[in-house]
Amino acid sequence: MSLFPIRRRIPRHAPSRRPGPRMRALLGAVALTVAALGAVGVAAAQQARAAGTSSLPTCPFWTNVTPPPRTDTPWVPPSQTAQPVDFSSRLAAPGGVTGTLTGGQVNITFNRVAGAQAYRVWRNGQSVAWVTDWGQPALTAVDTAPCQNAYYSFEAMSDQSGSDSSLGEMSAPYQLDSDGAVVPWQTPVGSTVTMMVTSYNDGGHTASGYNAQLGVCAVDPRVIPWGTYFTVPGYGTCYAADIGTWIQNDTVDVWLPGSQADGWGVQHRTVTIIANPFSGPTPPPSSSSSSPPTSASSSSAGACTTAPWNSATAYTGGATVSYGGHTWTAKWWTQGDVPGANSQNVWTDGGPC
């Protein structure tokens, strides 16, 4: 049972700017499935992981709602600049994260955090597990519905309430790589992508459990993983920790108070990935070979010579773009489908640039 109710987010813009209501589901905890991995031969385990990863589905968006077309509106600058939100004084994020794809599910283990009574595990902004620490030998969680290149996030909690005050700092992202292992992931700092940027002013909890506030923004976690800081021209610094029904693919929703959300309207901005300003729990870059990230890195300095993917460009079959440090080829006509992060699997990964 979800600890948080499903709420409807009502756009603050006039109907001519942003027609219709928009729902944001605040996703609560689901029951934890605990599994113990038996002894498996190394060769057999590697074979199972490789086969399982290639057979997994592309990560879907969490709802089948299709956002209506939206165009840019007049822009009223916000009254303040969003500063980076500092979570570093909270409980630390769990470390020692390991995970393996076996038998079509991902078995995850992680370390205890001093002072924590429970933990939350997320996949692309969806709750995978709520783990209560009752003194068991190991803290484990099982993702029974994994998908290709999924991003995982972890939080420790000081109590079982799930309130903002109980939540620790969210981990930096982890990714399920092509070998079937959960490994640390860092979207390359300095990566940029042009996004549609909308705004909301809902109060209460975000989907991650943190309070809605200036600097906490809604993203499609398949594109910008939760726990990532990025800058938005004209707004300031965002921390990815919320989701929204209309916040799909190349869209970001920034939080602004009151009528300032109306003034923001619908804009297009080139956002930039930045490092954690508070030297938080950023894991070291993974040395393993990973499947192409579904991150927001359409360009990374000096990495690719192929023209970067652009959400506003219509591509025909055979067109080639760069995205996330990889080269991608369109299978057929497409526009707005993020390479590696769309259910139609429009793009073929050509490997690193």
Q: What is the pLDDT of residue 32?
A: 32
Separation of alpha carbons 351 and 86, rounded Å: 36
Quick one: average pLDDT of 212-226? Answer: 97
- Residue (of 318, 330, 325) closest to 351 by Cα position: 325
Quick one: average pLDDT of 63-76? Answer: 95
The percentage of residues in the chain with a pLDDT greater than 90, rounded to a whole number, is: 62
Q: Is the pLDDT of residue 89 over 50?
A: yes
> Contacts from 301-305 at CB under 8 Å and sequence distance 24+?
301/190, 303/188, 303/353, 304/353, 305/353
Query: Residue 233 carries which side chain, given as an amino acid letter?
Result: P
Query: Residue 312 carries which side chain, given as an amino acid letter?
Result: A
Q: What is the pLDDT of residue 7?
A: 36
Burial of 213 (0-12, 13-18, 19+ CB in 10 A): middle
Q: How confident is the model at residue 213 (pLDDT cuts 50, 70, 90)?
A: very high
Q: What is the pLDDT of residue 70?
A: 95
- Residue listed under structure tokens 């969806």: 126
Q: What is the pLDDT of residue 353?
A: 78
Sign of the torsion angle spanned by Cα atoms 145, 146, 147, 152: positive
Q: What is the pLDDT of residue 42?
A: 31
Separation of alpha carbons 174 and 196, rounded Å: 25
Q: Is the pLDDT of residue 25 over 80?
A: no
- Residue (of 97, 24, 37, 92) closest to 63 by Cα position: 24
| Averaged confidence pLDDT in the chain | 80
Q: What is the pLDDT of residue 290?
A: 37
pLDDT, tens digit, 9 for 90 and up, residues 324-348:
677 888 887 776 677 766 555 777 8
Number of alpha carbons in the 13 Å side-chain half-sphere of residue 209: 29
Residue predicted with more confidence, 37 or 269: 269
Separation of alpha carbons 168 and 92, rounded Å: 6
pLDDT, tens digit, 9 for 90 and up, residues 98-136:
999 999 999 999 999 999 999 999 999 999 999 999 999
Separation of alpha carbons 216 and 85, rounded Å: 7
Q: Where are the domains of the chain?
A: 298-353
Number of alpha carbons in the 13 Å side-chain half-sphere of residue 24: 29
Q: What is the pLDDT of residue 11?
A: 41
CB atoms within 10 A of CB 269: 17
- Residue listed under structure tokens 């597990």: 129
The percentage of residues in the chain with a pLDDT greater than 70, rounded to a whole number, is: 75
Q: Lowest-pLDDT range, 25-39, 166-180, 240-254, 288-302?
A: 25-39
pTM of this structure = 0.69
Dihedrals φ, ψ of 184, to 5°? Answer: -60, 145
pLDDT, tens digit, 9 for 90 and up, residues 262-313:
999 999 999 999 999 997 444 444 333 333 334 344 444 345 788 887 766 7
Quick one: average pLDDT of 220-247? Answer: 97
What CATH number belongs to 298-353?
Answer: 2.10.10.20
Q: Is the pLDDT of residue 21 over 90?
A: no
